[in-house]
Amino acid sequence: MGTEFDKEYYKKERKADWRDKLRKEIKSKDRTEGVRVHMPEADPNVRNKSNIEVNKGLTLEMAMSESSRCLDCAVPTCVSGCPVGTNIPKFVKYIEKGDILGAAKVLKENNSLPAICGRVCPQEIQCEIECVYVKKLSKEGSAIGYLERFAADYERESGNSSIPELAESNGIKMAVIGSGPAGLTVAGELAKFGYDVTVFEALHDLGGVLKYGIPEFRLPKKIVDFEINTIKQMGVKFITNFIVGKTATIEDLKEEGFKAFFIASGAGLPNFMNIPGENFNGIQSANEFLTRVNLMNGDDANFDTPVHTGKNVVIVGGGNTAMDSVRTAKRMGAERAIIVYRRSQEEMPARAEEIKHAIEEGIEFMNLTSPIEYFADENGMVNKMRAQKMQLGEPDASGRRRPEVIEGSEHDIDVDSVVIAVGVSPNPIIQQSMPELETTKWNTIKVDDNMMTSVPGLFAGGDIVRGGATVILAMGDGRDAAQGMHKYIQSTILAEV
Amino acid sequence: MFKIIEKEFLSENVARLSIEAPYIAKSRKAGNFIILRIDEKGERIPLTIADANTEKGTIYVIVQRVGVSSHKLCDMNVGDTILDVVGPLGTATHIANVGTVLCAGGGVGVAPLFPIVQAMKLAGNRVITVIAARTKELVILENEMREYSDELIIMTDDGSLGEKGLVTLGMEKVIQREKVNEAVVIGPAIMMKFAALTTKKYDIPTVASLNTIMVDGTGMCGACRVSVGGKTEFVCVSGPEFDAHQVNFDEMLSRLNAYKTKESSGYSDYLKSLKPVLN
């Protein structure tokens, strides 16, 4: 992971007078004696009954003190861990200086969605793991994620939100398909270059997985809406209820004057395990469960959409989506909300923070366990899961130890609701409508170094290219694609003028 | 916002609405459906596109009052707007000139059958249509079907219109009388199950259009999954039409009832809320 970064640029920036002065104010030795800030959290037994945000955010004092731990290294290795190349030391030092709005502005130079990244990025395996504290000093890394969130929240709450600088409008129409993290990033970046950008969204609400997938207690919807609104203020147009490939094809849109396209339709198709009884009622994909709650407000009796949950809810899987689902089930009143995962906690793909929060909230973990069959009552409603115990063998292709069945370990678990969170596959709609688009055997779209597909002028990024990854990797793709699209337009349309 | 341009009741609880949706009107094909959401608090419900007018930019849907959303929809009037309409969804019907096509529709399933009858006829097939309902008042689209069918057979449970008996009786009469190359069956799951069993006896390739529960309609949630030939398929992206002889209708019937308790209590609460409050 990580991007190439221009060391000279960061060196030059570091030499700014104010940075020099700030560095000298506190000795590095004293800086390293500081202890990493703890994120204030809502009480686990209160938050597991409501949708309030779990992480409360740092206070100004906490943020300024944490920012003074940062050594403003000559070679800021943290930046190499950021898929969008955020100028981390610069924004952190603005916080130390007390210019929080300045810090927020720096964040927006490379990132259209800082308040979102500050909440959902796995900083612990990206920028923070590259921090000198971790690499050289065997200490906890600078809390870059918390500080990012702090600066973005501070700016939003100040009412003095800045809009990134835009190049003069060139009137060239660009289409973005999907309003998730990849699509929003491309839209913002293209607007900065001066393009006339329209985002087409299939659902009735904007934000993609940020809205239907990630729950309110981890990423409040008003924050997503605020960031989208900033992109709207940059002149980007949004059209909901529009499925490119169905409502209109790419060819139709070309006729309407669109010159280049970015496909960010996501990895929407949920995987099932294809074991007996999986189609009984009460067994649903994490996508269905979370969409019914997050997008359709199914947990609120004032809304018409029903959602199934129960007293004994099992979630199958160990990723962030599994954690989001199990914690949602708990909040909806499950007495037992259980993770069933075939490897051990160590191999779980979920962020350490999400696992910690889940444990605090009373989530049960049945690790090294894998379902093999479901049973139902006379109405076809699931009432029992048959599972088997696993043990870890030799490492497999993913580098994680391969789970192996322990013979004779079958046992039954009483359940009245099951959520399957074992991954997703790419959405097939665009590929179905464009047979000429080259795909991989996993149905992801093939792209080159500029994020361009096999069809000239058609770019793609995010989960439709990667399979199922993270918000920040999708955003990194978005940044790269915007560059690629800009180059494409310059070498074709603008070259002809 | 999507405006309702026309509305009429085809029977007491079945309304036909035309909705302004120019893109969908232009791109829809027989077999496609839409998902709509009436208002901010509404659910997303799938409805087959029964017809379209590309000049006016409108699509037609036919809706039966069965729950909260369909009740609200039936109560909406010309000039009202629907908050969200998205489509056309699903894979279009495979239309080809195969010879003689037997089209069978039950209840409100006659609505999604109509565009297929129309397309099959325009493709040069001999089209024999059997439509069925409990009683005369519930028979819909009789004239439209007659216009595009070489022969129209109406079946009612009580014999108040056409012949007395179930849809399968009408189908079997045709099959015994002449060579049928392909059949299309659309209606309640239980009707499709028996219609499929009927054509299977005679080895007639048969397509059924499934009306499962959906949320997004784009393959995202999997609520619509059914077993077809032992394999799980998503109706919204791989369907709605499948080989009727391969569909596990018993599983589908059970899955249609997944939210029955919540839906019926929600509906009775809604109906109560409609009654004038006394004092």
List residues of B whose CB lies inside 8 A of any A CB. Answer: 23-24, 27, 37, 41-44, 68-69, 83-89, 215-216, 218-223, 225-227, 232, 234, 237, 251, 254-255, 257-259, 262-263, 266
pLDDT of residue B270: 81
Pairing of the two strands B58-64 and B14-20: antiparallel
Beta bridge partners of A452: A459
3-class DSSP assignment, residue A157: helix
A453-457, A465-469, B39-43, B145-149: least confident range:
A465-469
d(CA A327, CA A339): 10
| Contact check, Cβ <8 Å, A379/B27 | no
Q: Is the Cβ–Cβ distance between A213 and A101 less than 8 Å?
A: no
* Paired tokens of A360: 């605090």
Question: A440: exposed, middle or buried (C-beta count within 10 Å: 0-12, 13-18, 19+)?
Answer: exposed
A446: which residues sit within 8 A by CB, 6+ positions away?
A438, A439, A440, A453, A454, A465
Using a CB-CB distance cutoff of 8 angstroms, which residues of chain A are in contact with residue B71? none
Using a CB-CB distance cutoff of 8 angstroms, which residues of chain B are in contact with residue A212? 216, 220
| Contact check, Cβ <8 Å, B255/A380 | yes
pLDDT tens track for A259-314: 999 999 988 889 999 999 999 999 999 999 999 999 999 999 899 999 999 999 99
**CA–CA min distance B179, chain A (Å):** 35
Tell me the backbone φ, ψ of residue B183, rounded to 5 degrees: -130, 150
Residue identified by tokens 């050594």 is: A71
Which among B44, B212, B221, B259 is the top mutation candidate for probing chain A, defined by the most A β-carbons within 10 Å of its own β-carbon? B221
Q: Terminal CA-to-CA distance of chain A, rounded, Å?
A: 39
Using a CB-CB distance cutoff of 8 angstroms, which residues of chain B are in contact with residue A268? 216, 218-220
Which among A238, A265, A283, A288 is the top mutation candidate for probing chain B, defined by the most B β-carbons within 10 Å of its own β-carbon? A288
Q: Is the Cβ–Cβ distance between A265 and A273 less than 8 Å?
A: no
3-class DSSP assignment, residue A18: helix
| Contact check, Cβ <8 Å, A429/B254 | no
ipTM exceeding the 0.85 mark: yes
d(CA A443, CA B97): 33
pLDDT of B193 above 90? yes
* Paired tokens of A292: 């019914």
Q: Is the Cβ–Cβ distance between A403 and A392 less than 8 Å?
A: yes
Residue identified by tokens 């409609």 is: B274
| Contact check, Cβ <8 Å, B226/A282 | no
pLDDT of residue A3: 46
Residue A414: Cβ within 10 Å count:
11
pLDDT tens track for A26-37: 999 999 999 999
A385-389, A467-471, B215-219: least confident range:
A467-471
* Paired tokens of A75: 């070679």
Q: How far is CA A47 from CA A261, A332, A338, B120, B249, in A?
A: 42, 11, 18, 58, 43
List residues of A whose CB lies inside 8 A of any B CB. Answer: 202-204, 212, 240-243, 246-249, 252, 268-270, 272, 274, 278-282, 284-285, 287-288, 291-292, 296-297, 302-306, 308, 379-380, 427-429, 432
Q: Count chain A–chain B contacts defined by CB atoms under 8 A.
A: 122
pLDDT tens track for A193-236: 999 999 999 999 999 999 999 999 999 999 999 999 999 999 99
Q: Which chain B residue is nearest to residue A433, measuring alpha carbons?
A: B91
Residue at B200: amino acid letter: K
| Contact check, Cβ <8 Å, A274/B218 | no
Which among A200, A253, A263, A279 is the top mutation candidate for probing chain B, defined by the most B β-carbons within 10 Å of its own β-carbon? A279
d(CA B141, CA B47): 16
Q: What is the DSSP letter of B119?
A: H
d(CA A174, CA A458): 10
Span B128-144, mean pLDDT? 94
The angle at the Cα of A199, spanning A197 to A146, to the nearest 5 degrees, equals 100
Using a CB-CB distance cutoff of 8 angstroms, which residues of chain A are in contact with residue B37? 204
Q: What share of chain B has pLDDT > 90, as a percent?
A: 87
Span A108-129, mean pLDDT? 92
CA A223 to the chain's CA centroid: 14
Query: Of A232, A264, A218, A243, whose CA–CA distance to A115 is shortest?
Result: A218
CA A414 to the chain's CA centroid: 33
A218: which residues sit within 8 A by CB, 6+ positions away?
A53, A54, A119, A120, A324, A354
Partner residue facing B216 (CB), from A240, A248, A291: A291
With bands split at pLDDT 50, 70 and 90, how would you rate the model's confidence at A1? Answer: very low
| Contact check, Cβ <8 Å, A427/B218 | yes
Average pLDDT, chain B: 93
d(CA A421, CA A438): 28
Sign of CA dihedral A20, A26, A29, A32: negative
Buried b / exposed e across A145-169, counting CB within 10 Å, b at 16+?
Answer: bbbbbbbbbbbbeeeebeebeeeee
With bands split at pLDDT 50, 70 and 90, how would you rate the model's confidence at A399? Answer: confident
Residue identified by tokens 């731990």 is: A69
Query: Of A342, A370, A373, A369, whose CA–CA distance to A275 is shortest?
Result: A373
d(CA B131, CA A308): 36
B55: which residues sit within 8 A by CB, 6+ positions away?
none
